Amino acid sequence: MAEQWAERPDDEIAASPRAGRRRSKPAPAARHSGAVALLLVVLPLVGALGDEAMGPGLGLLFQLCAVLGTAGAAALATRAGWWWVLAAPPVVVLVAWAGGELLGDSAKYQGSKALATGSVRWLVHGFPVMAESIIAALVVIVVRIMLEKRNRRG
């Protein structure tokens, strides 16, 4: 998936004077793909684990990491990479929440009934974080588009 975040739209590639040399030297956007992956996936996971380490249940740290990570990823990703940045938060938040809870408080989720209730809890409490992450990414994307337009005009 990281390769996809480096994927560049046709117009940018074609317009680039270095288009012919892109295989030998990665374009700036491609060089950011690792950072995008880190921000989008690893930062929320770190936030979830950090929150669990501080006490049972996920809270503000996870929320901040998820929102800032997604916003940062949207700032660094290419236009084509935005597909992935916008699609990632629901799955990343859910997985991070479940992982953090299962690792930090495994005794609470023993048995199918407890696990089923737990998964509903993750969905319920995860939704605001998912929504905030997507909104943050959309804001960054809109700002970037506006800046690009202004730069072109200028």
User: Positive or negative CA dihedral for 74, 147, 143, 66?
Assistant: positive
Distance separating alpha carbons of residues 29 and 87, to the nearest angstrom: 19
Smaller CB separation from other proteins, 38 or 79 = 79
Smaller CB separation from other proteins, 59 or 121 = 121
Question: Of these, 23, 25, 124, 150, which contacts other proteins (CB under 8 A)?
Answer: 124
Question: Of these, 88, 96, 136, 137, which contacts other proteins (CB under 8 A)?
Answer: 88
Helices (H) and strands (E) in the chain, counts: 8, 0
Distance separating alpha carbons of residues 31 and 29, to the nearest angstrom: 5
Q: Give residue 47's identity as a one-letter amino acid code.
A: G
Q: Determine if 11 is a binding residue for other proteins (CB under 8 A).
A: yes
Which residues are near other proteins by CB under 8 A? Answer: 1, 4, 7, 9-11, 13-15, 19, 79-80, 82-84, 86-91, 94, 107, 110-111, 113-114, 116-117, 120-121, 123-124, 126-128, 130-131, 134, 141, 145, 149, 152
